[in-house]
Structure 1
Amino acid sequence: MLWLPVLIFVATILLVVFKPRPFNEAGAICLGVFLMLFTGIISLSNISQIFSANLNILLFFFGLMLVSYFAELSGFFSSAANLALKLSKGNSWRLLGLVFALGIIITMFMSNDATALLLTPVVFMLVSRYGLKPLPYVFACAFVANTASMIFPFSNPVNLLAVDKFNLSLSEYLTFMLIPSLLAITITIAIFYFVFRRDLTPRFSIMENKPVALNNYSRSVRFTLIFLAAGCLLTSFMGWPLAIPLMVTAFILLGITLVYKKMDFNHLRHSVSWSILPFVLGLAFMVNGLENAGLTTTLGNWLSGTMASGGQLETGLITSFGTAIGSNLINNWPMMMVSVSSLSVITDISGGNAWLVYQAILGADLGPNLLIMGSLSTMLWLILLRKRGLTIKPVDYTKLGLLITPPVLLISTLAIFQLGKLSN
């Protein structure tokens, strides 16, 4: 009965996206998992196996949320935005470029969520203070968060689904993703400057800008974040679980925060979205249900058949665009899980056909630049700005996404395809 697990899965994802009361992401997923367990789609004997298979991702998320919290607490994002303002020297065109650069660096080493959810409000506050039109800058935070999240495996937690499943090394990952990432970022920035050219005022005064004061606590946090960046690169290069540097850094920052008496556990409890952990684990259970029903095997066999008939480029386009479109229909996390599970069916996926895995990563990372519902962080980004008085219509986000995402996705897909041919 393929229709039953698909029906439960789609209905659950709709609850996640629209969140009717009293559901949140975790509650909706838990309901879906219960239904799959009750109907026998998921076996109780698989629970421990699914949990252990996703432990690295769960710990990565846990460490990432703590690191982001402590970085924000130390004023890291405010200092970074003020530095960009100072370097702009009152030129709004240069400031937009610096916001992009800042977003790229933060996304590379602290994930796309940190850029979309923690950098955005600081940038919005900054440009509003100087009377600049905020849309180019807040949109830049959202779009670069997704676009730059392809650079490293740890730049987007969704990448870890493929990294863990197929044991991707950092050197191989960069071989396939570095050039497409640079192309995607360059094209995105070029389109931004063209679209927002009338919204960027030539000059503005920054005489009243006050630098964020540094203290021993903030300096200690910044030093630890440098340790994190180095640790993530080393861990990824060695092929170790990426949760290790995140968890180590999180506990170091917790110790530093306690030593400097900056710790407020009640504030921490309300500032971090803890529900993301059961949400991710619940998705893993639900995709296991789709696997048990044979859906992902069917998709994998279809891709294998397409490739066997000589349509390698066609298979690459189906994988990247299919994952991107699916990300906007059911969110990029569940879509990436389905894509990874389907690709695992293809023979030699870790050898001559490894490039297909990177097409799926590409689609899951870039897809959320098309619709607000493409990722949870983008939906939270929209809500976050509304709470601060800036109302952005989802249709305006989509209009910009339609200009940027299709050409960027196409060119990046072709780049990965060519790199795949060269690697063989």
Structure 2
Amino acid sequence: MGRPRRWWFVAYLVRWGGKADCVREDRDLNTPFAETLSIGLLVAVLVCAVVRPFNWPEAVVAVPAAGIAMATGAISWDHVREEAEHLGPVIGFLAAVLVLARCCDDEGLFRACGAWMARWAAGRPGRLLTAVFALASAITAVLSLDATIVLLTPVVFATAARMGARPKPHVYACTHLSNTASLLLPVSNLTNLLAFSAAGLSFTHFGALMALPWLVAIGAEYVVFRRFFRRDLGTAASSAAVDEAPPAMPLFALVTVVCTLAGFVVASALGIDPAWSALAGALVLAGRALVRRRATPLTVVRAAAPGFLAFVLALGIVVRAVVDNGLSDALGRLLPDGTGLPALLAIAALAAVLANLINNLPAVLVLLPLTAPAGSGPVLAMLLGVNIGPNLTYAGSLATLLWRRILHQHDHGVDLREFTRLGLIAVPAALVPAVTALWLSLQLFGA
């Protein structure tokens, strides 16, 4: 009995793709058709990721777009394999961290953090903002920015409501810190993981170089928030939440997170991919939840967000097609040479602009091949731009888009003009001193 027709069609595409590769060896890939098609596919993917028509997942458009890029020859099959090999470990790491964060939430770690914030704030909104900054910065650095957006933001809403405080400064802090506070460790952000693999740094060296920029950027954001939201923070709140008995801190989850973080350091020192440490932590907490019947295999798989992982891989393929068809040459002419402070500032500024134009994840995929040959300094400067810069617009990062949806779920509107005005103040106030701090760290610890 013959094979189903769809498999004949797939086989035809594979053979056609192989023939197309042979043809492409004899001609320039940067044809007007390939360039226009790849840019059009990227625009379609990003627009649908922002708008999410019919509440579709991002992968619904991104995966077919990647298929079109491959089938039409806008990207060679060799480059598809290279992109998959490059993004594979990063995607596996992201899946493990997402499961780890979700299991921590199920254990009650974030509820305990919310109770701590309320008691420490003692009915004072200014102290609550300080607590949110401290907690969001730590959670973003250790459990990634997704944990801050998806798990901490609802807790901040509930804490502000119990205190009778205006939620705006505190929930705005969540989205800003999900970007800005993700500078510290390779595990804090998907953009960091990509840059980490290209920069050739160890886990501890990366953290040492980024510690000072991380502190400086968060400090600058804190000053901006205190002044920008001074009226909201000056409103009196209730101290009733202080009298509530706080939930017990889930020590097992906390110890697992600490051990996982230590595992990142040890694995890096031994030359082992940090993804294995993340996987071990996720398996411990997920296994505990399964044994105690607090989770099912299906809920664990859902926690890994397979649709979003497919979106990341498809987006990488589409972006590679755009790079192959002319964008790399155009940006290469704009990037400055050298590793001095003026060059690092220019690289960070260009990265911030590009992140707001095409989203920070595609911006990293585009800029990494251009900055990596110049050394770790330009790569980390680029990282500062794509992590701090997205605080300017909604479309700057996927985390901000997700944060906006969470706010709508809590019937809390977002004023576009206010959000942009805050970003226009906070982004340069954080980016310039952070790049300066990076330049200083490079002098102290070496590139």
* Secondary structure at the counterpart of residue 245 of structure 1: helix
Q: Provide the C-alpha distance between the structure 2 equivalents of 1:21 and 1:124, rounded to a whole number of angstroms.
A: 27
Letter aligned with residue 253 of structure 1: L
Per the alignment, in what secondary structure is the counterpart of residue 240 of structure 2? coil
Are positions 1:263 and 2:263 aligned together? no
Corresponding position of 1:57: 90
Equivalent residue number for residue 343 of structure 2: 315
Query: Match of 1:409?
Result: 431
Which of 274, 277, 283 pairs up with 1:242? 274
1:389/1:66 Cα in 2 relative to 1: closer, same or farther (>3 Å)? same
Q: Deviation of residue 396 (structure 1)?
A: 2.3
Shifted more, 327-336 versus 20-29: the winner is 20-29
Matched AA of 2:367: S
Aligned residues: 412
User: Structure 1 pair 236/396, CA: closer, same or farther in 2 (3 Å)?
Assistant: farther
| Between 267-276 and 255-264, the greater mean CA deviation after superposition | 267-276
Contact 2:45 2:65 in 1 (8 A): yes
Residue 331 of structure 1 is matched in structure 2 by 359
Match of 1:206 among 240, 251, 255: 240
Q: How far off its partner does 1:294 sit?
A: 4.5
Alpha-carbon distance, 1:259 to partner = 2.0
Amino acid at match of 2:189: N
Structure 2 CA distance for aligned equivalents of residues 358 and 379 of structure 1? 24
Mapped partners of 1:391, 1:272: distance in 2: 29
Letter paired with 1:307 = D
Instruction: Tell me the secondary structure at the aligned position of residue 168 of structure 1.
Output: coil
Q: Describe the superposition over 1:312-351 as per-residue Cα deviations: whole angstroms up to 9, x where unpaired.
A: 544323321111121112111111111112224x4xx23x
The one-letter amino acid paired with 2:387 is: D
Q: 2:53 matched to which residue of 1?
A: 20
- Of 260, 264, 283, the match for 1:228: 260
Tell me the equivalent position of 2:129. Answer: 96
Q: Return closer, same or farther for 1:239/1:368 CA change in 2, 3 Å cut-off.
A: farther
Identity %: 29
CA contact 2:344–2:381 (8 Å) conserved in 1: yes
**1:357 equivalenced with 2:401 (yes/no):** no
Q: CA deviation at 1:207?
A: 5.3
User: CA offsets per residue over residues 213-272 of structure 1, 9 Å max, x none?
Assistant: 449xx4322221221222223334545322111111111111111222211445556665
Secondary structure of 1:389's aligned partner: coil
- The aligned counterpart of 1:176 is 209
- Greater helix fraction, Structure 1 or Structure 2: 2
Contact 1:29 1:283 (8 Å CA) reproduced: yes
Alpha-carbon RMSD:
2.4
Give the partner amino acid of 2:114: A
Paired with 1:133 and 1:194, the residues of 2 have a C-alpha distance of 15
Please list every run of 5 or more consecutive structure 1 residues that lacks an aligned counterpart in the other structure: none
Partner of 2:396: 374
Distance 1:41 1:140 in 2: 41
For 1:302 and 1:135, locate their aligned partners in 2 and report how far apart those are by CA, in whole Å.
38
**2:283 aligned residue (247, 251, 258):** 251
Letter paired with 1:400: L
Residue of structure 2 aligned with 1:140, choices 153, 173, 181: 173
Checking the alignment, whether the CA contact within 8 Å between 2:118 and 2:128 is kept in structure 1 is: yes
Alignment CA distance shift 1:131-1:90 (3 Å): closer
Paired amino acid for 1:220: F
Deviations along 1:267-318, one digit per CA (max 9) or x if unpaired, are: 5566653321011111221233234324324523553xx427xx95443233
Partners of 1:276 and 1:211 in 2: CA distance:
38
Q: Check the 8 A contact 1:287/1:334 in 2, yes or no.
A: yes
Shift of 1:409: 1.0
**Deviation readout 1:362-404 (Å, 9 max, x if unpaired):** 0111112111111111111111121122112233222211111
Q: Higher Cα Rg: structure 1 or 2?
A: 2
Matches of 1:184 and 1:313, distance apart in 2 = 17
TM-score calculated relative to the size of structure 2: 0.85
Asked whether 1:189 is paired with 2:219, we answer no
User: Is the deviation greater in 282-291 or in 75-84?
Assistant: 282-291
Counterpart AA for 2:364:
M
Q: Does the CA-based 8 Å contact 1:56-1:242 persist in structure 2? A: no
When residues 239 and 18 of structure 1 are mapped into structure 2, their CA distance, relative to the original with a 3 A threshold, is farther
* Pair 1:43–1:23, CA change in 2 (3 A): farther
Amino acid at match of 2:398: L
The residue type equivalent to 1:211 in the other structure is: A
- Mapped pair 1:292 → 2:320: no
> In terms of mean alpha carbon deviation, does 192-201 or 333-342 score higher?
192-201
Residues 272 and 62 from structure 1, CA distance in 2 versus in 1: closer, same or farther, beyond 3 angstroms? closer
Give deviations 1:66-103, integer Å, cap 9, x for gaps.
11111111111010110121222333222211111111
